[in-house]
Structure 1
Amino acid sequence: MITQNKRLLGILIAAALLLLIPLVAMQFTAEVNWSPFDFIVAGVLLFGTGLLCELVIRNVKKTEYRIAIVVGILAALVLIWIELAVGIFGTPLAGS
């Protein structure tokens, strides 16, 4: 139980640290210009992905399936992040 709580705390800390990167970059350059909504969306994506991976780790028993599902979740995160950032697929999510 303690290990699971430490993982959840790790997920929260990792998401917060990743969100600090654009926040700090905004202080030094005009190239990074995130709105509060951008931080909310990124936080939901990061924390949601972490929680989803934690759910898989807790409930899927077979290691091969666990790895495959987590890799799929992370791939989905990367594709959504790229789409939101630069609109690589041209969907309405990116405002294209």
Structure 2
Amino acid sequence: MDKNRFFELTPDRRMALILGGALSLLLIPLIAMQFTNEVQWSIFDFIVAGILLCGTGATLELLLRKFRTFKARFIAGAVLFIIFFLIWAELAVGIFGTPFAGN
């Protein structure tokens, strides 16, 4: 097998890396809960965060497959991450005051 081909990111490998990264981010609060009482997530919190992270990752992969130019990919990815962070902030502290606010 060619050494350079091993490191090539195919769409399937890229999707696995995105979802693996999203799921590994969930380890941060899980580990923090073992050392401090300031992080108190329920199983529902982990499920919602997992759905949000994996959904964003899957959408990113779809955007990367759809758009071919760097500029289009960058703009679509930036919009996606802005939406992700706004939803995350609303669920965490309630910046818009919706019924889904986390405070």
TM-score (norm 1): 0.91
Long gaps (5+) in structure 2: 1-8
Cα separation, partners in 2 of 1:95 and 1:14, compared to 1, 3 Å: closer
Q: Which deviations, in whole Å up to 9, do the C-alpha atoms of 1:50-70 show, x marking residues without a partner?
A: 110100100112322221111
SS at match of 2:10: helix
RMSD value, Cα: 1.4
Counterpart residue number, 2:4:
none
Please tell me whether Structure 1 or Structure 2 has the larger radius of gyration of its CA atoms: 2
Aligned mate of 1:25, from 32, 37, 54: 32
> Among the aligned pairs, what percent are the same residue?
54
Task: Note if 1:55 corresponds to 2:62.
Answer: yes
Q: Which deviations, in whole Å up to 9, do the C-alpha atoms of 1:12-68 show, x marking residues without a partner?
A: 210111000000000111110001110010001001001101001001123222211
Task: Note if 1:39 corresponds to 2:46.
Answer: yes
Counterpart residue number, 2:14:
7
**Of 13-22 and 58-67, the range deviating more from structure 2:** 58-67
Counterpart residue number, 1:76:
83
For 1:95 and 1:53, the matched residues in 2 are separated by 26
Q: What amino acid is aligned across from residue 18 of structure 2 in structure 1?
A: I
TM-score (norm 2): 0.86
Long gaps (5+) in structure 1: none
Q: Structure 1 stretches (4+) deviating beyond 2 angstroms? A: none
Give the helix-richer structure, 1 or 2: 1
